[in-house]
Amino acid sequence: MKIIGGLVFHEGRGFIKETLYTEGGRFSLSTSEDTILDAENCYVIPGLVDIHFHGCAGHDFSDASPDGLPAIAAYQLSQGVTSICPASMTLSPETLQNICKCARDFSQESSTNGSRLVGVNLEGPFISNAKRGAQNPDYIRQADFTLLEQLQECAGGLVKLVTLAPETPGAIDFIRQVKQSELRDISISIGHTQSDYDTAKKAFACGADHVTHLFNAMPAFTHRAPGVIGAAFDSPDCFVEIICDGIHIAPSAIRAAFAMFGSERVVLISDSMRATGLSDGNYTLGGLNVQVNGKHATLEDGTLAGSVTNLLECMRCAVSMGISLENAVQCATITPARAIHIDNDYGSLEAGKAADFLLLDKNLTLVDVFKDGEKVDR
C-alpha cells in the first residue's frame, strides 16, 4: 500500500507530510502493492497501545470469559487501539490463573476482528490494603514469587507487568528474586502503595521500573515527603502511567507530570472498566459494585473505580489540557510499547514493524483504523 498526502507522525520530529509504504502487513521503504490510500488533510499515527485497562463493552478481562476477550478486543480496535495488555485485579490465585489461561488461549487465535493481545498486566494482588482503591481486600497478599511463576506459566509468557507495594513485607526481596530469575523481563510497577521516598527509591534501584497510575492510590508529592512520585522522577529508567480522562487527575497535574517526566517516560492509559462504551448504570469491577454516572465510575463509598474512557479519548483529553499532539501521540503509542518491551514490532511507523496505523482528521476525529495493513471494518 502507498499512503499519500498525510501528515505522518515521527517521534521527536513531529508531523511530516510524506508518503508511507506497507508491504505484506508491515511498514516498508517501498511497495509492490497497487493500493493507494489518500490521507490528505489527515494525521497518520501509529495504532494505539493500551497497557492498563480492565474492560469495555460490557465485559471485564477478569471475567476470564472466552466470549469476553473477543468483544473487548473488537471494541478496542474500533477505537483505534490496535495492541492491548489488559489488567487483572486483586483476586484469588485460582481466578488469576484462569484469567491468564484465557489470555494465552485468545492470543493464540488468528482472529483479525480485534486488537492483538500483547501482554497481561497483573494489577494485584501484591498491594497495600490502605491504598487498595477499587480492589477487593479479601484477596490482598504479600508478594509471592512462586505464584508469579505459576501465573506466567498459565499465561504462556504473556505477563508483562505486575503491580507491587514496596513497603509490604518481602517486597524488596521479591523484586530482587524476579530480576535474578527467568522472569526478569516482567516489569515491576510500584502502585497501590503507601511507600515513602526511600523505600520506593530502593525498589527502583533493585529493578522496579514502572509506576501504576501516577498520583492515584499513592501518597501525594510534597516538598518534604516526595514519596513514590519523587523517587520515580529520580529514577530515569522508570515509566509512569497517567489516566488522562479528565476525572482522575487535574489538568495542572497532567501538565506537571509531562514537565517532570517527558513524553519518553509518560504512558497514557485508559484504566477503563466494563461500562466503557455503554450507558450510565450499575456495573461491577473485580467483584465490587460500581455506579457509572457520566465520566465518573465509583464504588458505593465514592472511591474512583477505573474510567469509562478509551485511550483515544484520553489522548484527545491530554491535548485539550495543553499537551502537544506530538507528545500525546508518543505517550499512547511508542512509549507504552517500550514500557512492556514490544517496541520492536509495534508502536511506531518504522519499516519492518506491523502496519498498524490510524487516520485522524484535523479535529482528531478517528477516520480509519488499519491493522497489519488491512482496513478495519468499524
Residues annotated as catalytic are 271
Residues 211 and 190 sit within 8 Å (Cβ to Cβ): yes
Q: Which of 333, 356, 305, 361 is nearest to 53 (CA)?
A: 305
Q: Which of 157, 113, 187 is nearest to 337 (CA)?
A: 187
Q: How far apart are CA 263 and CA 275, in angstroms?
A: 29
Cβ neighbours, 10 Å, residue 53: 28
**Element housing 269 (H / E):** strand 266-269
Burial class of residue 159, CB neighbours in 10 A (0-12, 13-18, 19+): buried
The C-alpha torsion from 274 through 313 and 336 to 286, rounded to 10°, is -20
Q: Name residues whose C-beta falls within 8 Å of residue 189's C-beta, 6 or more positions apart in sequence.
A: 161, 162, 163, 164, 208, 210, 211, 212, 241
Q: How far apart are CA 152 and CA 340, in angstroms?
A: 15
Handedness of CA 194, 198, 203, 207 (dihedral sign): positive
- How many residues are listed for the chain in this entry? 378
Q: Which of 228, 160, 222 is nearest to 190 (CA)?
A: 228
| Cα 215 off chain centre by | 16
Q: How far apart are CA 152 and CA 88, in angstroms?
A: 13
Q: At what angle do helices 68-78 and 93-107 cross, to 10 degrees?
A: 60
The cell numbers describing 273, all together, are 472498566
Q: How far apart are CA 99 and CA 101, in angstroms?
A: 6
